[in-house]
């Protein structure tokens, strides 16, 4: 009998090693990691230089508490990250995971307004569907009924007004104007922040708004004194072919808070964070003088050393450009598969954050009973390819879909292999 508390009663293979884009299990099977786990392993597996950087850091300075020390590695990393993301003057609040980072961003937005004497601002507007994390605040922010239902009594819905998801039939500006309407409806003086995923992840398979949306959202937020939080936990750090997905169409877009995770340390260590503008930081520091929030492992030196080493690899190997180029190759191949498999209704996304939408070819709608994504994902696993399936009808989620996002270091030959294995899986699973 195992003593492990598994996530579900399905059976899990036991992984023992990984290298590049491949993971090996204890039965000698090899899987092409077509989803980087949950869009995490951006630089691929088995990078000994990251492991060495972590080992050296652990030996030299494994831990200090944020109430007593900064660390040299954290100082270096915060400045390198601000440079990579082109966020001059922004401050890094480093934590261990995306949910913690979103909790931090939400609390920081609230405290910012309290410091400015606007303590009536507490609501955080988010979208439906969306996924911002599993902890209770981040979950309350998430528009994902299936994950919220059981815990709904622990949440206060009036604090989390929901905007509909981006509508590709609208211009980016017209789409963003719907935020203004919602702010007017709930009372803009009660709103602390608007938060969205620039390219949607798990809840709506790589859905992205039209050009102009984010710039206009930023302008509306500024006009109403509402902070703009970009949740780039999945879409950031180069995955979408740009350091930040919120700037895919307009490099001038500058959210007040940018939330990062996943690809930050690419799975080598738990690392996530919030990049906060100088204005937000200064408001807190010149006001009460302290962020009323903290986690024991915030800014953990070993995680930060992993993040620094990953950033070196991303820069040296040009992985942001690679994400754009391999992403175009993968999207082309997916379009060809869509032509061959009528059950594939749509393929979409940016860089190496791509979605495959499954459904009923007769109606062009999701299947009445979900299950196709799980079936295709199981067939893909049997064919040696890992994908990230999702399904759900609640909250406007787009039925069955697969999220694809291999490591940004994937080669052209490996993209071809991925497509061959997915072809087999669609043949068997649909």
- Binding residues for ligand PLP, rule: CB under 6 A, are 38, 97-99, 102, 131-134, 197, 201-202, 231, 233-234, 261, 272
Phi, psi dihedral angles at 23 (to 5 degrees): -115, 135
Shortest distance (Å) from residue 259 CB to ligand PLP:
7
Query: Is residue 21 within 8 Å of 406, Cβ to Cβ?
Result: yes
Pick the closer one to ligand PLP by CB: 302 or 383. 302
Shortest distance (Å) from residue 237 CB to ligand PLP:
12
Pick the closer one to ligand PLP by CB: 260 or 418. 260
Pick the closer one to ligand PLP by CB: 103 or 115. 103
Place of tokens 């961003």: 105
| Helix H or strand E segment including 29 | none
Position with the least CB separation from ligand PLP: 98
Pick the closer one to ligand PLP by CB: 379 or 408. 408
Lay out the sheet containing 22-25: strands in order across.
Answer: 15-19, 22-25, 30-33, 385-386
Q: 186 is written with which tokens?
A: 């709930």
SS3 labels along 200-255: CCCCCCCCCCCCCHHHHHHHHHHHHCCEEEEECCCCCCCCCCCCCHHHCCCCCCCC
Whole-angstrom Cα distance, residue 365 to residue 363?
A: 5
Query: Is residue 378 within 8 Å of 388, Cβ to Cβ?
Result: no
Q: 334 is written with which tokens?
A: 């997916």
Shortest distance (Å) from residue 130 CB to ligand PLP:
8
Shortest distance (Å) from residue 233 CB to ligand PLP:
3
Pick the closer one to ligand PLP by CB: 31 or 388. 388
412-429 vs 319-340: helix axis angle to the nearest 10? Answer: 30
Shortest distance (Å) from residue 169 CB to ligand PLP:
24
Shortest distance (Å) from residue 380 CB to ligand PLP:
20
Whole-angstrom Cα distance, residue 170 to residue 132?
A: 25
48-60 vs 301-316: helix axis angle to the nearest 10? Answer: 150
Shortest distance (Å) from residue 275 CB to ligand PLP:
14
Shortest distance (Å) from residue 390 CB to ligand PLP:
11
Q: 311 is written with which tokens?
A: 């950033």
Shortest distance (Å) from residue 38 CB to ligand PLP:
6
Shortest distance (Å) from residue 235 CB to ligand PLP:
7
Please provide the distance, in angstroms rounded to a whole number, between the alpha carbons at the two ends of the chain.
34
**Which residues, at least 6 apart from 227, have a Cβ–Cβ distance to it below 8 Å?**
109, 112, 192, 193, 194, 221, 256, 257, 280
Pick the closer one to ligand PLP by CB: 38 or 393. 38
**Strand, helix or coil for residue 85:** coil
Pick the closer one to ligand PLP by CB: 261 or 333. 261
Pick the closer one to ligand PLP by CB: 97 or 241. 97
CB atoms within 10 A of CB 150: 8
Whole-angstrom Cα distance, residue 97 to residue 225?
A: 28
Shortest distance (Å) from residue 35 CB to ligand PLP:
11
Pick the closer one to ligand PLP by CB: 272 or 419. 272
Q: Shortest CA distance to 77 belongs to which of 268, 235, 273, 294?
A: 273
Pick the closer one to ligand PLP by CB: 259 or 383. 259
Pick the closer one to ligand PLP by CB: 408 or 419. 408
């Amino acid at each position: 009998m195992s003593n492990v508390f598994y996530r579900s009663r399905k059976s899990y293979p036991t992984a023992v090693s990984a290298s590049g884009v491949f993971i090996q299990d204890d039965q000698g099977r090899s899987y092409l990691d077509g989803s980087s786990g949950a869009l995490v392993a951006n630089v691929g597996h088995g990078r000994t230089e990251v492991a060495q950087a972590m080992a050296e850091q652990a030996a030299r300075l494994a831990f200090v508490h944020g109430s007593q020390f900064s660390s040299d590695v954290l100082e270096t990393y915060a400045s390198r990250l601000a440079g990579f993301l082109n966020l001059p003057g922004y401050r890094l609040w480093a934590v261990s995971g995306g949910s913690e980072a979103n909790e931090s961003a939400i609390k920081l937005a609230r405290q910012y307004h309290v410091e400015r004497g606007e303590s009536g601002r507490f609501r955080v507007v988010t979208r439906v569907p969306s996924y911002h994390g599993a902890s209770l605040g981040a979950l309350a922010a998430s528009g994902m009924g299936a994950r919220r239902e059981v815990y709904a009594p622990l949440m206060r819905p009036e604090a989390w007004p929901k905007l509909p998801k981006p509508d590709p039939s609208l211009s980016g500006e017209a789409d963003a104007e719907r935020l203004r309407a919602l702010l007017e409806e709930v009372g803009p003086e009660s709103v602390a922040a608007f938060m969205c995923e620039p390219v949607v992840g798990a809840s709506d398979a790589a859905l992205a708004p039209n050009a102009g949306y984010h710039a206009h959202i930023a302008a509306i937020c500024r006009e109403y004194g509402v902070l703009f939080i970009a949740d780039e936990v999945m879409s950031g750090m180069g995955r979408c072919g740009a350091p930040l997905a919120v700037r895919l169409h307009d490099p001038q877009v500058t959210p007040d808070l940018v939330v990062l995770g996943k690809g930050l340390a690419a799975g080598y260590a738990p690392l996530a964070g919030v990049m906060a503008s100088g204005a937000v930081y200064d408001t807190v520091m010149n006001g009460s003088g302290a962020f009323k929030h903290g986690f024991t492992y915030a800014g953990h030196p070993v995680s930060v050393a992993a993040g620094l080493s990953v950033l070196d690899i991303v820069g040296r190997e040009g992985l942001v450009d690679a994400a754009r180029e391999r992403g175009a190759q993968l999207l082309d191949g997916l379009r060809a598969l869509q032509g061959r498999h009528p059950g594939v209704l749509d393929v979409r996304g940016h860089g190496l954050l791509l979605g495959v939408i499954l459904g009923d070819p007769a109606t062009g709608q999701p299947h009445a009973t979900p299950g196709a994504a799980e079936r295709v994902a199981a067939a893909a696993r049997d064919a040696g390819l890992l994908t990230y399936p999702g399904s759900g009808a609640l909250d406007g989620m787009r039925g069955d879909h697969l999220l694809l996002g291999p490591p940004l270091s994937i080669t052209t030959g490996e993209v071809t292999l991925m497509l061959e294995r997915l072809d087999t899986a669609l043949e068997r699973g649909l």
